[in-house]
Chain A
Amino acid sequence: MALLTVENMTHSFGGLTAVRNYDLSISPGQIVGLIGPNGAGKTTIFNLITGIYAPDQGRVVLNGEDITGLRPHEIASRGLGRTFQDLRLWRHMTVLEHVMLARYSRLDYGMWGAFWGTPRRWRQEAAAEKKARELIAMLGLSHLADQVVINLPYGAQRRVEMARALALEPKVLFLDEPTVGMTPEELDQIIAIIKRVHRELGLAIFIIEHRLKFVMELCQRLQCLVFGEVIARGTPEEIQNDPKVIEAYLGEEKVA
């Protein structure tokens, strides 16, 4: 059974239809890629599934539960973690605080516990810190744990964002252009990390990406989006050789 399905999703901004009749199905442990030229509506699809926008039409089902129209934090706590294309970190906070905050939905000590510092609060926060430190170690950030994020190099900030998303213990991880602006070494590093995360945590991953090297190496299935519509879907090889994709997307690159 599919872990995450999207059926017939459509959304418009004013008169512009940004996404039309979009379908998606991700099985547990599968890595699916979404490619397409700039402005095709890829990030809009992410925002629609994660609840930042409510779709005009269609249904999103996660793990058998209809999550269409829920607020983003409700969707996140049901097991959908994400990163952002334009790094959205909390600029005054340390790496450890970032990852601990994503454990928010696991805390039930309540405001009262926060005010009075009840034993339950200390217990739960200690558990959150332990989990956070494990993830930070997994992403190779242990030596930076107490640094404020804006002081970190770009590649490390990307990893902080990923550690933070993983702290939600998601069933599906959404990565929005995780390699944008990265140097070749950082690119290899992030591929290794995604592979490791996928192997060790058994996550399903949904990636928006431009770099073909990256999607070819990681994804089992691909969708190609142009002007809000999926024009092709299949394995990376099929997509690579699909004439429609080549025309809309790869063709331009060959000319240039």
Chain B
Amino acid sequence: MAALHHAKAGFKGFMRKAWSPFAATPALGWLLSALAAVLLEKWLGLALAHALGLPKIPMLFGFIIALKKPFLIPGTLAFVFIIYLLPMALVARFSAPLANRASRALLKAPLAVSALVHLALLYAALHVWAEVSDYRDITLRLTMIAVMLTLSLNVINGYMGEFSCSHPGFMALGAYAASVFTVGLFASDRLFGAALLPPQLAPFLFPLALALGGLVASLGALLIAVPSFRTRGDYLAIISLAFTFIVKSLIENLEWVGGPRGLSSQPDLASLPMVFAVCALCVWVINNFVTSILGKATNAVRDDETAAEAMSINTRRTKMAAFMFSAFWAGVAGGLFAHVLRYVNPATFGIQKLAEVLAMVYFGGLNSVLGSVVGAVGISILGEALRPLEIFKWILIPLLLILVMIFRPTGLIAFREFNLRRVLSPKEPPQGRS
């Protein structure tokens, strides 16, 4: 045991030392370094890959290629080092003073300006990275949808401390409502007949379709909330699980949306910028909610409902509002999901989807916006990276989850408030000379 502790301390010390050159790099610097790496890959990636004996650019930082063809591991490692690690380290280290100055200047304007600049840089980096292949593009979009789902489920399971299993159901409602809207209006389809509106209008009305999906999911949430929030306990878990199955079999039996065969020919509206924008909006709104007093009332309900009532908190309103809010974003995510795949069928929204989202929430961390982002991105990337292992993937990922549950029972980054201003701030004290 003592040896383990010693090793742990030594590892921590080593990590701190290795990290010290980057201690002064602000968020802006990291975004710049990511942008530099993906631009380098765009211009030199293919040539370098061929020079290293790789058939093409490694799609997911070399994980997949390394698992599929082990003899290519040295080449893959070299590629990742030359394209990502080295340039990122250099740019992050040497752009730090400049990035800090820029961060400080940006913070003089309203916080929104700074946030938008960071988002724009993040988008640019993701865009360039995703341009390399369709596989990356679709993985990235699905990952961002997973972020939305995880974060919205965290509002219930983390912030409010209830256990909801209805997210696949909400997602299905959102996916079908949004799909019926867009397919009915903009696509000539065997189920809904000819298009009613010219397709040029579609991108403008798409947010409306997503909102509709969200609202339908919220209505579904109301159906669950009314009976299950009268008391506390396991009722919500059971009722919400039943809800997921009810939605699934309901859709399977509705022939006018395609029944078990599913619904296809959604117009191609969920492009990368669209998904990115909606995802950013979702994270922003949910973060706003959970940091407000009205949102923190959910924490009070979780920690002691009697005390919350006695301190004038309307617990029923709090629970209902939080649940419907969470369902809304799950519905929006479902709408995006349907338009990314451009095909939905009811079987998608079953118990496996539920396990996936729950895993992301508990892996990333309860009661934490950042935790949800990390959980969703982590599990999504892991799921893709381990794809070549086929069936063993489903042994490895749960094993990892068990380890997380043993060593960090509330998840990797739990109970931490996400303070936008602190994230966007420069990383060193202002210089003496002005």
Contact = CB atoms under 8 A, between A and B. Distances in A.
Interface stretch (B169-177, B208-216, B310-318): B310-318
Interface stretch (B31-39, B296-304, B380-388, B399-407): B296-304
B307 A73 contact: no
A158 interface: no
A51 B309 CA distance: 9
Given A101-B297, A101-B300, A92 B311 contact: no
A132 B379 CA distance: 41
A143 interface: no
B348 interface: no
Given A92-B415, A93-B299, A117-B288, A107 B310 contact: no
Interface string B291-335: 011111101101110111111111100000100010000000000
Nearest to A106: B312
Given A100-B293, A101-B296, A115-B289, A164 B306 contact: no
A254 to B, nearest CB: 37
Contacts of B285: 115-116
Contact of B312 (A77, A89, A115): A77
Given A116-B288, A117-B288, A97 B296 contact: yes
A2 interface: no
A132 to B, nearest CB: 10
A174 to B, nearest CB: 9
Task: Select the residue from A81, A97, A104 with max chain B CB neighbours within 10 A.
Answer: A104
B288 A105 contact: no
A101 B285 CA distance: 20
Contacts of A111: 289, 294, 321, 325
B244 interface: no
A50 B312 CA distance: 11
B415 A73 contact: no
Given A90-B304, A114-B292, A71 B297 contact: no
B371 to A, nearest CB: 14
Contacts of A168: 311-312
Contacts, number: 107
Interface residues of B, number: 28
Contacts of A82: 310
A141 interface: no
A114 B289 contact: yes
Contact of A71 (B300, B304, B309): B309
Contacts of A226: none
B288 A73 contact: no
Task: Select the residue from A50, A73, A97, A103 with max chain B CB neighbours within 10 A.
Answer: A73
A102 interface: yes
B182 interface: no
A105 B312 contact: yes
B157 interface: no
A90 B307 CA distance: 8
A72 B288 contact: no
Contacts of A100: 293, 296
B367 interface: yes
A47 to B, nearest CB: 9
Nearest to A83: B310
A53 B209 CA distance: 46
A125 B296 CA distance: 12
Given A114-B288, A115-B285, A117-B288, A73 B309 contact: yes
Contacts of A109: 294
Task: Select the residue from B295, B307, B308, B309 with max chain A CB neighbours within 10 A.
Answer: B307
A107 B294 contact: yes
A73 B303 contact: no
Contacts of B303: 89-93
B293 A125 contact: yes
Nearest to A82: B310
Interface string A44-56: 0000001110000
A89 B304 contact: yes
A76 B292 contact: no
A121 interface: yes
Contacts of A91: 303-304
A76 B415 CA distance: 28
B300 A93 contact: yes
Contact of A73 (B293, B294, B315): B315
A37 B306 CA distance: 25
A128 B293 contact: yes
A88 interface: yes
A88 B293 contact: no
Given A50-B310, A73-B314, A168-B312, A103 B293 contact: yes
Interface in B210-259: none
A168 B310 CA distance: 10
A233 to B, nearest CB: 26
Task: Select the residue from B289, B293, B306 with max chain A CB neighbours within 10 A.
Answer: B293
Given A84-B307, A92-B367, A104 B297 contact: yes
Contacts of B307: 84, 88-90
Contacts of A101: 293, 296-297, 300, 308, 311, 313
A84 B315 CA distance: 18
A81 B315 CA distance: 17
B217 to A, nearest CB: 16
Contacts of B302: 90, 92
A50 B288 CA distance: 32
5 contacts: A90-B299, A93-B303, A101-B311, A111-B325, A164-B311
Q: Which 7 A-B pairs have the closest CB atoms?
A: A90-B303, A88-B307, A72-B309, A105-B312, A76-B312, A114-B292, A77-B312
Given A73-B309, A88-B307, A107-B293, 8 more contacts: A52-B310, A72-B310, A73-B312, A101-B300, A105-B312, A111-B294, A114-B293, A114-B294
